[in-house]
Amino acid sequence: MKMTLKFIIYISLTILPLVSFSQCNEYTKKQCIPQLTPYTFNGQLNNAVLSEGETAELRLTFYKDQEYRILVKGEEDLGALEFQLFDTEYNLLYDNADEGYTNLWDFMVESTDDFVIRILVPEDKDKSKLESGCVSILIGFRAFGSRTIFK
């Protein structure tokens, strides 16, 4: 009996988080990466299983003379996610709450620099939604001026 209990605890602490992480990777690959088009995916899968009320941050370098697309997408039951872009001194540069909680933002930087992306998962006041789920933060890029212009 004691050995069975240890085995169950071992499985729940080691295997189950791996399964959840694997499902999050599949969600990111199938549901999120295609939304970066026409930008080129930078190849970094940035995702996590977050609970309502949690905040996550990701520090990234953006380079001069490139256009970028940030995509922040969570599983539908998480609701509208808020994401913000800060410089390294935490001066707010962008907040998607100002644009109706859009999950995409296209921009350019004037010079190569590091930035912080903060993701905030809303709390569900009436507890009718899923308490946690996969959140993906993806970056697409393209060289400035590489847009195809149709006449």
pLDDT by residue for the chain (151 residues), tens only, comes to 555 545 444 444 444 343 444 678 887 888 788 888 899 999 888 888 998 889 999 999 999 989 999 999 988 878 889 999 999 999 999 999 999 999 999 999 889 999 999 999 988 766 665 578 899 999 999 876 655 433 3
83: Cα within 13 Å, side-chain hemisphere? 23
Residues 79 and 124 sit within 8 Å (Cβ to Cβ): yes
Residues 119 and 83 sit within 8 Å (Cβ to Cβ): yes
Q: Is the pTM of this model over 0.85?
A: no
Cα distance between residue 25 and residue 104, in whole Å: 19
Q: How far is CA 40 from CA 22, 66, 106, 139, 140, in A?
A: 23, 11, 13, 8, 5
CA of residue 52 relative to chain centroid, distance: 14
For the chain, list the domains and their CATH numbers: 2-143 (2.60.120.380)
- Bridge partners (DSSP) of residue 60 are 115
